[in-house]
Every structure is written in structure tokens, then in C-alpha cells.
Amino acid sequence: MAIIIRLDRILVEKKIKLIELAETIGISNVNLSNLKTGKVRAIRFSTLDAICTALNCQPGDILEHVCTNDSEEDKEEIEK
């Protein structure tokens, strides 16, 4: 599965710093940074909702699905 996190692009467009967003939505800067860099495996809908509300955007502005060629990681996810 290839989900690309585009949070950095939205932050630049909205001219908001990561730490400002973290304070606004009540999430730690470290956790938000991990999300921004794609180091997370999941995101709570409540967190996604808070980000979208704060940035006045849609989930599709932040998350992007990219097709892959049935990599081993994709096969493992399907088997779970």
C-alpha cells in the first residue's frame, strides 16, 4: 500500500508552521512530525478531522494513494 502524506505541502500553502498546527489541534509536535514524514502506519479519524478543520482542507488534500506493483508489503497488508 502506498499512501503518501502531503501535509508538508498544505502547511506551506497555508503558511502555517508544524508547531503552530500541533498546538492548535492538541497533538504533540513529535507525533505530528512523524505523520508529516510518513513514519506512521495509521491515523485516527479524530486527528485527521482536527487537521482538516485547522487547515480548512479535505482529507484528500493531505493523503494520496499511489498504485504499486503488488509489492511484498502490499501482500502482507492484504493477508492481515
Cβ 36 vs Cβ 22: under 8 Å: no
CATH number for position 75 = 1.10.260.40
Q: What share of the chain is helix, strand, coil (3-state, %, to 5)?
A: 60, 10, 35
Read off the pLDDT of each residue in 3-31 and give the average, rounded to a whole number.
95
Domain that holds residue 59: 3-79
pLDDT at 48: 96
pLDDT at 69: 79
C-alpha 41: how far from its chain's center?
10
pLDDT in tens, 29-71: 999 999 999 999 999 999 999 999 999 999 999 999 998 876 5
**C-alpha span between 26 and 29 (Å, rounded):** 9
Total domain count, the chain = 1
pTM over 0.85: no
